[in-house]
Structure 1
Amino acid sequence: MEKDLRITDTQYLLALTIFFLSYAIFEVPSNVFLKRLRPSLWLSGLMFCWGIMMTVQGLVHNFGGLMGMRWMLGMFEAGLYPGVTYYLSCWYKRSEFGIRVALFFSAATVSGAFGGLLAAAISNMDGIGTCFSWPVKSHPQTFAWLGGKPAWAWIFILEGLATVVAGALSFFIIQDFPDTAKFLTEAERTVVVRRLQGDDQFSAAGEQLRMKYIYKSILDWKTWVGMMIYAGLDMPLYAFSLFLPSIINQVRFKATPANLLTVPVYFFACVITCGVGFFADRWGMRGYFNLIFLCIGAAGYIILIASRNAALSYFAVYLATCGIYPVIPNTVAWVANNVEGSYKRSVTLAMVIGFGNINGAVSSNVYRADQQPWYPLGESLVLLYIGLGLVFSFIYLIFLRRENARRNRGERNEIIGGDKSSGHEVNGRYDTVDDAKRDKGDEWSGYRYIL
């Protein structure tokens, strides 16, 4: 790409970075629109549009065009991950949510595996279409948009067109929220909603947009600690996915074998991600899984920093995946499990994921070409971010445990009706328990946080 578009290494890193800026900016608005509109329309529309942007990215022939397409790609793709995780949280109980979001997120690891295979295959298409090419007078070395396309352009074009088709089909596949889903009868919708309400998801029957729900999300300490945890995970994720083939390539292997060697890494990440999602649901100890697997990931990056042996570094890559891929959906499930109120949860998830993606921009600029093949700066900063996720996971776990203990002691009890002996005035006065649940959400005294 750098050769064909005549861009520098710094310009290439800027093209990676600008994606994260628009990706982070539009996540919160997207989740609010998702709740206001139909998921089948909003999510499928986003996918269709970013498929177009990805396709056009393969047709650009200068730095300005590349930057524009990267910005638009981030803008349209922003709503998918926070949107789908929020959407899933509206259908499943808290003890069922982790494996679902892990399965969804594992699609990213599977795509990483297939991405390596596709990149290896599509690399053979270099120059296809040259019969339509002609010289561009102002830039003779630049490909005209109908001219012969290099391999990197065909990767964007073909995968973008596949996404366009998937986006169009998803409009007919995606269902809406439980209280409005057309494939359920009225009786079935009632059963689904009551099942969720029995799991302390009081807003499952529907909720009107009120600004106080958004303010509650912004002012909730859990939102900000969750943002710090996710920042400690998302920067390593993007650094890993962006530069894994380059690391393997520079250490020992050429481009095509390097792409192929990423496949078993992503397959391992998929398996470990789904395993953590399943057992965290069953045992309900999401925070402890975070602590354990972040320590394993940190060990992997310590080896990557110290090692100068290709085989040992490749082994360390597998340890590094343990501190990234399984922990991200586990953290999303952990945050979602501890926020009640449909609008509050949608904003909280978008803020957490959006802040993490801002830090993803850091990953685009720390693996510098002049530090090949071992990238000491990049690996050290990733290790620093993993440490950040570890520290704030511990803080989140301790504070949730303390809050549950206060509620068990009755310190958060509200006054219900006229019975002042049932609670404390500072915690609020309500006519019924249902009124307290609806108004306070996860701040209600009977709500217990998942550790």
Structure 2
Amino acid sequence: MNPNNHNPPIMSNLDEKPGSSLTEPYSASEPDSFSDIDEKKLLWKIDLRIIPLFTVLYLLSFLDRGNIGNAKIEGLAESLNLRGMQYNMCLTIFFIFYSSMEIPCNVVLRYVKPKTFIPITMAIWSVVMTLMGTVRNYHQLMAMRALLGIFEAALFPGISYILSIYYKKNEVLVREAIFFSAASMAGAFSGLLAAAISKMNGVGNYEGWRWIFILEGLLTFVVAVIAWFYFPLNPSECSFLTERERKFVVQRVTFSSNNVISKPDRPEEPSRSKPLNEPFEHDKNSPDVELSSPTYSDGPTNLGETHENDKRWILAVFADWQSWCMLMVYYGVVVPLYGISLFTPTIIKSLGHTNTKAQLMSVPIYVVASIYSIAQAWMSDRVGLRSPFLSFNFVCMAIGYTVCICVDPRTNPRVIYAASYIIAIGMYPAFPLVVIWFSNNLSGSYKRAVGMAFQIGIGNLGGAFASNFYRTQDSPRFLLGHSLELGFICGGFFFMMVVIVGYKLSNKRRRDALKRGDYSNYSEAEFLAMGDKSPHFTYRL
């Protein structure tokens, strides 16, 4: 290969079997600038087709896993005669099965169309949810929670990965935040819905908490049936785009990079090609990254990524230092998230409010968190950075939990309630941010699919931890729970700093290696096979 004649191919060097990838590449036999396609209109078209559906699906997912918290304050524990830590074990069993199934589910999604797999699993968990309203004892409740964890596992990592194959790296966070804001809205909606449904107490000789499970399960089933008809196929096959639009979407995502530009939403001008081993000029505002200069992609050094379904990418995830560090960062977010979402109604009730008022007072916390999540994600995509915003989130969470530890809710209940807002403002935006930050820094669509499932799957064991932090005997101060949550937040912040330093050092080493010409004899295929370990891959900070 002569590096001076280098022009990035559109994955023409991959030996991929038809139908084996969610982002099947198109041939690059003739160059195409796609000048006839209005990119903003195309994105809006994709947004309208995908984001509302994903938002509703995730809202119902979070609603169905968390409504047990609402059922508890409506009398679930008393009706089933739950003793000691039995209620907490019902929370824990969900996360054990949920976590263990996420990596297998994302691997399955590489071979089975998500349009088929996700609606089916959703319909099954809706039936489980409905049957939960008929349980009569602790063991039956445990079984239903375990099944719920198994069948909910496919949704979040699955739709997160699907977003990553429809949108560029500087576009995906705000979309993920929009559908993840459904988690915060689920908290609000759950409180409102539970307060209303609990009024059905005695209907059909069922307690009000049973109707929470039954009606919310039936609602999920109806949406699962609708999703069967509207769930999107992969970009190269979806029916709502034209043939040229499908080619353009696959092409622009394949060559999406982490290079930071001053105005990420503004088209850039092409520049002259350079040899693969010659460094590119730096953006004066971003000294740590090379400035890309694409026609429609991100520059002559951007070779795209491989879409091969090689099992070596599974091992690559487990062998990658950033996978384990990002997992620790994720724990610093997800443990407080599940702690607060499962126990907010109980904590507010412990401040002396009635059941219904406790449900309703949790609503505005989630609404505020939802609005801020989307605003922060838009800003992060706009400037092309993740870590500064995540740092702010960790600080907010730490402040909120510190207040909860230091203040006695019996004497200052309003202060504790205000601290809940601070925690939520830090916590809910951080969740999609840490997932997309890791996704941005994985190259190779198979590695990214497995990597996201690894982080989300193993990370969601944090829910099992959190479900045992808040014990009845610790009410109303819950010092043990709050202190443990604060400990995970501090740990997450520490590993975030490790990741930042690691990314900066890696980016510098790669630039230096290119300057020295260490990779001058490498072919494009060899660079693609290296994935995010290629010297032409820049980690996003």
TM-score, with normalisation over the residues of structure 1?
Answer: 0.90
- 1:296–1:320 Cα contact (<8 Å) kept: yes
Cα offset, 1:181, TM superposition: 2.0
Is residue 305 of structure 1 aligned with residue 397 of structure 2?
Answer: no
- Tell whether 2:124 aligns with 1:41: no
1:121-200 residue pairs with structure 2 within 5 A?
121-129=196-204, 148-200=205-257
Q: In 1, are the aligned partners of 2:394 and 2:426 still within 8 Å (CA)?
A: yes
Q: Which runs of 5+ in 2 are unaligned?
A: 1-75, 258-296
Distance in 1, matches of 2:469 and 2:132, equals 24
Report which of the two has the higher share of helix.
1
**Amino acid corresponding to residue 394 of structure 1 in structure 2:** M
Aligned-pair CA distance for 1:422: 3.4
**SS of equivalent to 2:427:** coil
Deviation at residue 394 of structure 1 after TM alignment: 1.2
- Would the aligned equivalents of 1:54 and 1:156 in 2 still touch at CA under 8 Å? yes
2:506 is matched with which residue?
Answer: 403
Cα-to-partner distance string for 1:56-98 (whole Å, 9 max, x where unaligned):
1111111111111000000000111111111101110000011
1:206: how far off?
7.5
* Deviation sequence 1:284-337 (CA, Å, 0-9, x none): 220111111111110010001111210000000011112311101000110000
Q: Which amino acid in the other structure matches residue 218 of structure 2?
A: L
Number of the residue aligned with 1:218: 318
**7-16 vs 375-384, which deviates more?**
7-16
* Aligned partner of 2:307 among 182, 207, 217: 207
Q: How far did residue 183 of structure 1 move?
A: 2.8
Change (3 A) 1:380 1:446: same
Matches within 5 A, 1:172-321: 172-200=229-257, 207-308=307-408, 309-321=412-424
Alignment check: 8 A CA contact 1:58 1:155 kept: yes
Equivalent residue runs for 1:42-61 within 5 Å: 42-61=117-136
Aligned to 1:367, the other structure's residue is in SS state coil
Q: Is the 8 A contact 1:179 1:206 kept in 2?
A: no
Residue 446, structure 1, aligned to residue 536, structure 2? yes
Alpha-carbon distance between aligned partners in 2 of 1:422 and 1:44, rounded to the nearest angstrom: 50
Tell me if the contact between 2:157 and 2:456 (Cα under 8 Å) persists in the aligned partners. Answer: yes
Q: Secondary structure at the match of 2:202?
A: coil
Query: Distance in 2 between the 1:151 and 1:73 partners?
Result: 21
**Residue 322 of structure 1 aligns to which amino acid in structure 2?**
I
Q: 1:23 and 2:98 equivalent?
A: yes
Task: Tell me the residue number matched to 1:139.
Answer: none
Q: Which runs of 5+ in 1 are unaligned?
A: 130-147, 414-420
Distance in 1, Cα, partners of 2:389 & 2:400: 17
Alpha-carbon separation, structure 2, partners of 1:208 and 1:445: 20
Question: CA 1:43/1:205 → structure 2, altered by over 3 Å: closer, same or farther?
Answer: farther
Q: State the match for 1:357 in structure 2.
A: 460
Whole-angstrom distance in 2 between the partners of 1:56 and 1:306: 42
1:257 counterpart letter in structure 2: K
| Residues 1:203 and 1:246: Cα distance change in structure 2 (over 3 Å) | farther
CA distance in 2, matches of 1:334, 1:4: 44
Question: How many Å separate the matches in 2 of 1:203 and 1:219?
Answer: 23
What secondary structure does 1:68 align onto?
helix
Give the direction of change, closer, same or farther, for the CA distance of 1:59–1:212 in structure 2 (3 Å limit): same
Kindly provide the CA deviation profile for residues 182-206 of structure 1, in whole angstroms up to 9, marking residues without a partner as x: 3333322211111112314989898
Aligned residue number for residue 111 of structure 1: 186
In 2, the alpha carbon distance for the partners of 1:204 and 1:354 equals 27
SS in 2 for 1:325: helix
**Among 87, 90, 98, the residue aligned to 2:162:** 87
**Local SS of the residue matching 1:423:** coil
Q: How does 1:323-334 map to 2 (within 5 A)?
A: 323-334=426-437
Indicate the SS of the match to 1:365: coil
CA contact (8 A) 1:245 1:262 kept: yes
Q: Is the 8 A contact 2:236 2:250 kept in 1?
A: yes
Whole-angstrom distance in 2 between the partners of 1:178 and 1:440 = 24
Q: Deviations over 1:8-42 (max 9, x none)?
A: 13111111110000000000000011121111111
Q: 1:346-385 to 2 correspondence within 5 Å?
A: 346-385=449-488
2:201 partner amino acid: D
Equivalent of residue 141 in structure 2, options 41, 52, 66: 66
Q: How many residues align?
A: 420
3-state SS in 2 of match to 1:253: coil
> Please, what TM-score do these two structures have when normalized by structure 2?
0.75
> Identity over aligned residues, as a percent?
38
SS in structure 2 at match of 1:410 = helix
Cα 1:296–1:387 shift into 2, 3 Å: same
**2:513–2:519 CA contact under 8 A, matched in 1:** no
Cα-to-partner distance string for 1:374-412 (whole Å, 9 max, x where unaligned):
11100100111111111111111111111111122225x
- Alpha-carbon distance between aligned partners in 1 of 2:472 and 2:464, rounded to the nearest angstrom: 17
Q: Which residue, 432, 446, 464 being the options, matches 1:343?
A: 446
Q: Could you list the per-position Cα deviations for residues 115-138 of structure 1 after superposition, in whole angstroms to 9, with x for gaps in the alignment?
A: 000111111111111xxxxxxxxx
CA contact (8 A) 1:89 1:97 kept: yes
Tell me the residue number matched to 2:271: none
Taking the aligned partners of 1:69 and 1:344, their CA distance within structure 2 comes to: 32
CA distance in 2, matches of 1:439, 1:179: 22
Task: Tell me how far apart the structure 1 counterparts of residues 240 and 424 of structure 2 sit (CA, whole Å).
Answer: 38
CA drift of 1:438 comes to: 2.4
Which of residues 75, 78, 81 in structure 2 aligns to 1:3? Answer: 78
Q: Secondary structure at the match of 1:386?
A: helix
Aligned counterpart, 1:422 = 517
> Would you say the 8 A contact 2:368–2:425 is kept in 1?
no
Aligned partner of residue 442 in structure 2, secondary structure: coil
2:522 & 2:469 partners in 1: Cα distance? 54
Q: For 2:118 and 2:303, how far apart are their aligned partners in 1?
A: 22
Q: Give the aligned residue type for 1:112.
A: G
Task: Measure, in 1, the Cα distance between the counterparts of 2:230 and 2:217.
Answer: 20
Partners of 2:500 and 2:369 lie apart in 1 by: 25
1:238 and 1:178 mapped to 2: Cα distance?
Answer: 33
How far apart are 1:178 and its partner, in Å? 1.2
